[in-house]
């Protein structure tokens, strides 16, 4: 079983507290998390003590293991709940229409499953991919919601949302998976992306997956600067390319999965549109 490190929710809250949102629910989640950590540590100490007592029965040890597992699950649930709250705040701040972050989570999990990844990976990408644009909390809303083309300086500032997200999530090892997604999801397989111009498998797999999921949903979604595209139009752009997007931007294995399962992407989008 993985031992969860000491949480750093306070530092995350501190970094985004200047935004005009009510963070009471997040603070309450932090308190639940702290309690779970204390319970977790206490159970580990009890378990260690039980090993030292030769007279301890197997039943007692088994019960301690069960308690430990329950507390671990509670702790993991706190991270997931905190992640959901953060992603909702980021979505609201960016004035994203529809259910972008939920759809990206579904696309990403679909790709991970088709790649044959285990449940740990697929669950992580489902729960943490919604944080991919968390760094936009640090971008001026005038830039985020500008109608028309951004200036060079505005675009450079917009690109920094990947770095801002990494800074927000950097305090807690449990968010390392989410950090990889947020920091690297604009890197491109051919090395033409940002912030570091990484290429190929130097880009974490979770970021390569979210990169395609995010592009597809962005193409399908209406923004202040562009209309929504149909599934067929989005598919053609990803597979054949246009001025902005090229198939070389994506991991070939992930692109192949998209081609073979693109109708499932379409279905996911349409399900959210109906709700």
Q: Which residues are catalytic?
A: 136
- Whole-angstrom distance, CA of residue 125 vs CA of residue 14: 25
As a whole number of Å, the end-to-end CA separation of the chain is 38
């Amino acid at each position: 079983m993985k031992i969860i490190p000491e949480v750093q929710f306070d530092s995350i809250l501190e970094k985004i507290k200047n935004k005009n949102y009510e963070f009471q629910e997040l603070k309450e989640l932090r308190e639940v998390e702290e309690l779970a950590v204390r319970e977790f540590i206490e159970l580990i100490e009890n378990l260690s003590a039980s090993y030292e007592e030769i007279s301890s029965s197997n039943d007692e040890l088994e019960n301690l293991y069960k308690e430990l597992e329950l507390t671990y699950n509670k702790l993991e649930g706190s991270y997931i709940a905190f992640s959901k709250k953060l992603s909702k705040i980021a979505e609201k701040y960016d004035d994203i229409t529809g259910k972008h972050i939920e759809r990206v989570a579904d696309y990403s999990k679909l790709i991970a499953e088709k790649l044959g990844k285990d449940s740990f990976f697929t669950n992580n990408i489902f729960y943490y991919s919604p944080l991919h644009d968390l760094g936009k909390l640090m971008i001026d809303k005038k830039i985020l919601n500008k109608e028309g083309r951004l200036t060079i300086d505005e675009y450079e500032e917009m690109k920094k949302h990947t770095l801002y997200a990494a800074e927000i999530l950097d305090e807690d090892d449990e968010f390392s998976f989410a950090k990889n997604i947020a920091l690297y999801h604009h890197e491109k397989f051919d090395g033409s992306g940002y912030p570091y111009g990484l290429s190929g498998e130097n880009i974490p797999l979770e970021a390569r997956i979210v990169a395609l999921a995010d592009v597809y949903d962005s193409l399908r979604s209406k923004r202040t600067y562009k209309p929504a595209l149909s599934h067929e139009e989005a598919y053609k752009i990803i597979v054949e390319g246009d001025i902005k997007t090229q198939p070389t931007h994506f991991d070939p294995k992930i692109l192949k999965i998209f081609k073979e399962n693109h109708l499932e992407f379409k279905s996911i989008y349409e399900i959210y549109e109906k709700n």
